[in-house]
Amino acid sequence: MFGNSFYTDIGLQRTPVGHNDENWLDERLHNRSSRIVPVWRGHNLILGQETPQAIALTGNHARGLLQICGEKAFLGMDGDTAYFAIDLSEHELPVLSPALGQAKFVDLRRVVMMLEPHEAALLAYAKGAMYWHFNNHYCAACGSLADAKLGGRMRQCTNPDCAREHYPRSNPAVIMLVTRPGPDGGACLLGRHGGLPDGMYSTLAGFVEQGESLEQTVAREVMEESGITVTDITYRGSQPWPFPDSLMVGFRARASTVEIDLSNDELEDARWFTRAQIASFSEHGRRLPRADSIGFQLVDEWLKEG
């Protein structure tokens, strides 16, 4: 089973005593020692390029941004220090620059491999929290405005006849490495859809449909995408994937058929690759999934078994 992967360990206590107390959360938000993690249009605040650092503001810089921010969300406690994400997307960058100093908003995926794992996880959580708020201004049940409550930990419908509470959700998706026995230590099934960068071959993946178990999703998605039937589906680990709001649940599965069928047009290519073929990927302009992804971990685990 995989240990901690990228984006999993924020190093904060998410539900301390007081996390359901509006007054306590408000006091924490405005406490000068609290740390503020700004998000701007899906980007995170980073200082430095060669050795980038995640920035969590405190003191006057944080106070200034709290005055002008949009949504806020309590993330958790590190000892006595509270962490909040705030959204600054409604402002243009020149307005924000005086409070940011040399720090810049960047796409987390550009810098994640150079960050400490807990920093990457914190930024991912902040980004995901702001994404959820951005997409949940209105009650899904009645369409009325839904206000953020409890330090941004939930939203509640403002229509008194409805008053439904909405909590942040992740969308579960499965991601799986399909293998088969054979010469040269067997092979694994990798594919590519049009959205992947040039040359990248990845594990197959797909969203869980209603009424489906995770294992059923694995079998269905592999069949739809490649025409392969699988068995022996085993859980390997999971990873929050805030691009934008998924929980990736990783599996290994064994193929019981060999012939690949792409006639569903879900993938532009899918092939069986031996370990030796993957080792020479770069010579053919191919590459594996991003190293911060559970897809890479699934392949890497199999490669090391050979």
Please give the residue ranges that form the binding site for Zn ion (CB under 5 A): 139, 141-142, 144, 157, 159, 162, 164
- Smallest gap from Cβ 135 to Zn ion, in A, equals 15
Handedness of CA 231, 232, 236, 240 (dihedral sign): positive
Closer of 157 and 174 to Zn ion (Cβ): 157
C-beta closer to Zn ion: residue 110 or 137? 137
Pair of tokens at residue 258: 């060999």
The answer to whether the beta carbons of residues 306 and 181 sit under 8 Å apart is no
By beta-carbon proximity to Zn ion, the closer residue of 140 and 276 is 140
Pick the closer one to Zn ion by CB: 113 or 141.
Answer: 141
Residue with tokens 């994937």: 241
| C-alpha–C-alpha distance, residues 149 and 234, integer Å | 39
| C-beta pairs of 118-121 under 8 Å, 24+ apart in sequence | 118/9, 118/10, 118/11, 119/53, 119/54, 120/6, 120/7, 120/54, 120/292, 121/6, 121/7, 121/8, 121/9, 121/10, 121/11
Residue 265 CB, nearest approach to Zn ion (Å): 39
Residues 6+ away with beta carbon under 8 Å from 147: 155, 156, 158
Closest contact distance (angstroms) between CB of 141 and Zn ion is 4
Residue type, 5: S
User: Cβ 160 to Zn ion, closest distance in Å?
Assistant: 10
**Secondary structure (H, E, C), 70-108:** CCEEEEEEECCEEEEEEECCCCCHHHHHHHHCCCEEECH
Pick between residue 159 and residue 274 the one whose CB is nearest to Zn ion.
159
Tokens (6 digits) for 70: 């949009």
Closest approach of Zn ion to the CB of residue 147, in Å: 11
For residue 148, the minimal CB distance to Zn ion (Å) is 14
**DSSP string of 140-196, one letter each residue:** TTT--BEEEEGGGTEEEES-TTT--EE----EEEEEEEEEE--GGG-EEEEEE-TTS
Instruction: Decide whether 3 or 160 has the Cβ nearer to Zn ion.
Output: 160
**Least distance (Å) from Zn ion to the CB of residue 139?**
3
Given the complex with Zn ion, which of 163 and 200 has the nearer CB atom? Answer: 163
